[in-house]
Structure 1
Amino acid sequence: MGNDGLRELQQKKREESIERVEWAIEYLRDLEGDHCRITAIKLVDITGLSRAALYKSHLRPLWDLNYIKMDVGEEINSEINRYHQDNEKLQLDVSLLKSKLEKSYAEISRLKKGCDNEKMRASVYRQDYEELKERYQQLLHHNLRILRKLHLHGIDLKDLDLEEFN
């Protein structure tokens, strides 16, 4: 690609500026002690880099400890925001599940009522069946008694013309 040379040059300059800032930090610590305060003004004087360059994302974490803390603070804030978003999503999920649960309870109640109605119908049909069964047994018994009487009197069913009754 045509921009590879430009990218390599930019990376080289970036590495050089990192080396300059690291060297300047070591120089300041050697000169002023390990706990010296490192500021952008001191680094500008020593490195020859512009102040804007020192505030770029690849250089600032090297010398500005507060910047690192701000990154950690931003990470914590983003975690808190993510937690709140997740919490809101979970609350929404809980409310949706509660509504589904209520609908399910309503459906269960409706089905129980339907089942009870079917049980009542079945008991009514059973009662009707038992009544009809008893009635037909009585008719069958009555017919058998008539057939016995006919047999006792010597009348054969073949002699009777039963087609008149159909």
Structure 2
Amino acid sequence: NLTGGVPPNKTERKYSQMNQLVIDAQHTKSKISRNIYGHFSEHLGRCIYGGLYVGEGSGIPNVNGMRSDVVGALRKIRVPVLRWPGGCFADTYHWRGGVGPKESREKIINTAWGGVSEDNSFGTHEFMELCRQIGCEPYVCGNLGSGTVREMSEWIEYMNSDGIS
């Protein structure tokens, strides 16, 4: 102690070194974007097939293949952004296999999560339809594992094109 006084005891030291944070909601500087609170949808277990997507011919109530109960729940919590095709799965996903007539889409093996065979019936158009039904913004995750910059740029162009492709 530089002042020559008696050093504070442990309890006094503990409380004298605490910081205090005061939040005044009347004096805000900026708004936090709701888009930082998004969700992800990955081909993990039954998240996509059987979870979000059951297909148009399913006995489970659906609209354009999306489960009505799940869409209702996601609308209720007001999901702002939905990321797809997920995390690890995205590193082996090639978007061209998930567009076009469902019966002609290439089958894939989900090497990220258990080597499950998938029919690619949930692809780009289905994801965009899910986002439309939920009322959220789409966030497309690029393939950084086995894809190329060209593949990603062509996917972005495809999704934003006004023309027929």
Say yes or no: TM over 0.5: no
TM-score, normalised relative to structure 1:
0.19
Of Structure 1 and Structure 2, the greater helix share is in 1
Of Structure 1 and Structure 2, the greater strand share is in 2
Rg comparison, structure with higher value: 1
Choose between structure 1 and 2 for higher RCO, CA contacts under 8 A separated by at least 6 residues. 2
